Amino acid sequence: MTNKSIQYKKALIEAMEEYHGIVSDACKSVGISRGTYYKYLNDDSEFKQAIDEIEGVVLDYVESELFKKIKSGDTGCIIFYLKTKGKKRGYIERAELTGADGKDLNTRITIELIDSPDQVKKEDASSQESL
């Protein structure tokens, strides 16, 4: 590991703290690309551990702010929390597809494997003729 990469990693860790885990802003402030950041993240377990810790602190902070909103009666935050954390208790949204008469629609998706691109062109041409 070069001296320069060690300096960049230290600066990135500080920048990630300052910018609350927002990678683009941290990279911009240090003067490196996001690609370099992700290379450091994938190749250096100590760097990754430091970044994971920062992300955990940021998540804790955001959760505490969410709970402040919930305590103040913010209906949107209450619903959001129940949709994400209350699924086992039935607080989920599901899309139901029904026909004009209100009966369930049975939809099927058929995937056909083809042997060659020429077959696709022939099928496309024949389907256009029937329109």
**27 inside domain:** yes
The model's pLDDT over 112-126, given as tens digits with 9 standing for 90+, comes to 665 656 655 555 555
Angstrom distances, CA of residue 32 to CA of 2, 8, 23, 116: 15, 8, 11, 45
Using DSSP's 3-state secondary structure scheme, residue 98 falls into strand
The model's pLDDT over 9-36, given as tens digits with 9 standing for 90+, comes to 999 999 999 999 999 999 999 999 999 9
Give the integer Cα–Cα distance in Å for 61 and 98.
Answer: 42
Q: Does the pLDDT of residue 128 top 70, yes or no?
A: no
C-alpha 51, offset from chain centre: 17
Tell me the mean pLDDT in the region 61-79: 96
Indicate the pLDDT class of residue 106, thresholds 50, 70 and 90. Answer: low
Domain count, the chain: 1
Tell me what percent of the chain is helix, strand and coil, each rounded to the nearest 5.
Answer: 65, 0, 30
Q: Does the pLDDT of residue 60 top 90, yes or no?
A: yes
Range of the domain at 7: 3-89
Higher-pLDDT residue of 36 and 90 is 36
